[in-house]
Amino acid sequence: MDLRPITNNQQSQYNKLVTHVIQSFEWGKFRRCLGTQVLRYGLYKNNQLTKAFQLTLHKIPFVNQYVGYLPKGPKPDKELAEALIKIGKENHCAFIKLEPDICLPSTVYRLPSDFHPSPKPLFTKYNFVLDLTKSEEDLLKNMHPKTRYNIKVAQKHGVKTEERVDDEAFEIYLKLYFETTKRQGYHGHNKNYHRKVWKTLRDAGMARLLIAYYEPRTNNHEPLTAWMLLNFKDTLYYPYGGSSKTHSEVMANNLTAWEAIKLGKKMGLKKFDMWGALGPDADAKDSWYGFHKFKLGYGGKLVEYIGTYDLVFNWPVYLTFTAIDKLTPLKIFLLKLLGK
């Protein structure tokens, strides 16, 4: 196999081979807008491009070393290991973190010994994926009864949704997103991150907003929920969203999810990727359980990925970096460092 950089005029070829929006050529453009170093490569066999991927490089403080990050990439086989070893050494990487877009099959998948199970994942190991090729009737039938009930409650209260791509709608989304992160106390990307991902992917026809409004008798058209939805190939993704704490009784979130599903069907897409979930034995005390339970209600398939792995080049730096976990939550540190 021959490893070569991917050029800008290979965008179409590249996108045909990658499987997730985070690996898309357009996502790489967005990351570069943030000042992140993005490397794109292809593996060739008999002069034919057979595998493609992109990774980002992130400077480790105080040392002349980098972390490479390859999320939602291809199968981590021997060929990929050899390619990443070459890339890592050329770019002074202490290690490269991989989170492949590969689900566990019925038999255990064996990785090359170069890839070590990581102590700190960034993406969740589980996710809900909904089959959009089913009829609306079947999709509703597969939902939890409480979820179907909540959708009807929202409709009864006059909640309406709008698909929008304008700047005013984005400001509504931004306000609700940060209201939610503050209220629920979780780490979120900064405003610049959201503006860049929105502009880059919207301009490429790969992003839209779905906003749910409450229309009581006063007719003040109050926005209650806003989701950013991304589309790539045959999949609609729900990565980011926010909601108001007011009028929670009208169940605007439930209707927004249902309208997102219908939008995906209208766009002719086959899958609705809900971005992440807890495992099959989710702990009700887990801080993310509310998100998990909400997504569970829509009847999607709970898929399990093969996990997170580190390809290590400099063990002393890697172990020191990992030891930061004793001083501060490493996942938050990594999220900030890698800009995820």
Residues 244, 269 within the same domain: yes
What are the backbone angles phi and psi of residue 193, rounded to the nearest 5°? -60, -50
Domain span at residue 158 reads 127-303
- The pTM (predicted TM-score) of the whole model is 0.94
Q: Given this model, what pLDDT does residue 275 score? A: 97
* Integer Cα distance of 17 and 83 in angstroms: 17
Residues 141, 119 within the same domain: no
CB 101 within 8 A of CB 305: yes
Q: How many CB atoms lie within 10 A of CB 126?
A: 17
Q: Given this model, what pLDDT does residue 185 score? A: 85
Residue-wise pLDDT for 92-140, tens only, equals 999 999 999 999 986 667 899 999 999 989 999 999 999 999 999 999 9
CB 252 within 8 A of CB 226: no
Residue for token pair 């026809």: 205
CA angle 178, 59, 319 (to 5 degrees): 100
3-state secondary structure of 321: helix
Residue 218's contacts (CB-CB under 8 Å, 6 or more residues apart) are none
Residue-wise pLDDT for 236-262, tens only, equals 999 999 999 999 999 999 999 999 999
Residues 297, 310 within the same domain: no
Residues 257, 142 within the same domain: yes
Residues 65, 197 within the same domain: no
**Burial of 90: CB neighbours in 10 Å, binned 0-12, 13-18, 19+:** exposed
Residues 163, 297 within the same domain: yes
| Residue 37 per-residue DSSP state | E
When divided into structural domains, the chain yields a total of: 2
CATH number at residue 83: 3.40.630.30
Residues 10, 158 within the same domain: no
Residues 211, 94 within the same domain: no
Residue-wise pLDDT for 265-280, tens only, equals 999 999 999 999 999 9
